[in-house]
Structure 1
Amino acid sequence: MEKNNHFFYVLECKDGSYYAGYTVDLAARVEKHNAGKGAKYTRARKPVKLLYNERFETKSEALKMEYSFKKLSRIEKEKYIRKNRKEGLHNE
């Protein structure tokens, strides 16, 4: 597997909630969520849109970020996304 192709991502669901995950292919993963074949959480909350993503060197780093993000409050999640977009950590 290619290095640097590990993504932590955040989706915004139709109901306004966030879903955080890990993937090596962002476009395919978002498509899968919207097709109802992603996580159980997003199936009832489609369509989803990609709100934020960060690229990591290793799967382990990306999964650690996902785990940390999931422990944050909604306000902390919003601050994290805003702050890292400004600092350029967000990938398009």
Structure 2
Amino acid sequence: MGLAVYGRRFESHTWQKTLWLADLVVAENARGQGIGRLPLQAVGRRAQNPGRRAVVAYLRVCNASARAFYDRVVVRRNTEIEIRVIDLPQR
């Protein structure tokens, strides 16, 4: 029904340990039933064990359903960081 993929992360500019939430997936037929909260809560508990300060997730701007989900679960938006991508030449 739901799956979370995450990894440990250290923010060198803030000296904070965080968990990076790489992916949170809920089966399409199960969306809107609160199931996404369960893996998110499990990741939150996992983050607290080694003393991490936050769980960080990147969202695609075009992913309206993910953005709405995170807005509903009271996720704070980080306005201090802007993400830039350096595309590498294709071989």
TM-score interval (norm. to shorter): under 0.3
Question: Which structure has the greater CA radius of gyration?
Answer: 2
Identify the structure with the greater helix proportion: 1
* TM-score, normalising length: structure 1: 0.27
TM-score, length basis structure 2:
0.28
Greater fraction of residues in strand: 2
